[in-house]
Amino acid sequence: MEKKPRIQQVYTLLVEVGRKAGDGLPKDATGAALMCYASGVDEAEAVRETVAILKQADMAPLDVTGYGTREERVAQGHEIEDDEAELMDRALAENAVIVAQVSPFFD
């Protein structure tokens, strides 16, 4: 039985992070939301890779919300801007996790 090749796709993930020494967030922030584009053969792999990369960067991931692949998002009616599509293409080409936006939380 021949194995089918597993194709990489890019997933849109929203990651909430808490505070950790050296995380690079503003001093008075309580955490942040990070919009990420991550490649993986499935969403679970993309989440695992994203969490691992963020931990290596001294961040403290708390929660991850997946929004699916580009095709899934378009099918749900999301508009994908050109700059967002470029970042998705880059994540796929580099087999990488791209942090596209960081929004710090303040009390």
pLDDT of residue 2: 66
CB atoms within 10 A of CB 101: 12
Q: Where are the domains of the chain?
A: 9-105
**What is the full per-residue pLDDT of the chain (107 aa) written as tens digits?**
666 677 899 999 999 999 999 999 999 999 999 999 999 999 999 999 999 999 999 999 999 999 999 999 999 999 999 999 999 999 999 999 999 999 999 98
What's the CA dihedral at 38, 40, 42, 46 to 10 degrees?
-40
CA distance 3 to 61: 34
Q: Are the C-beta atoms of 13 and 66 separated by less than 8 Å? A: yes
pLDDT of residue 1: 65
- Is the four-CA dihedral 32, 33, 39, 42 of positive or negative sign? positive
Could you give the C-alpha distances from 61 to 6, 8, 28, in angstroms and in order?
Answer: 27, 23, 18
- DSSP lists the bridge partners of residue 95 as none
CA atoms within 13 A on the CB side of 50: 32
pTM of the model: 0.91
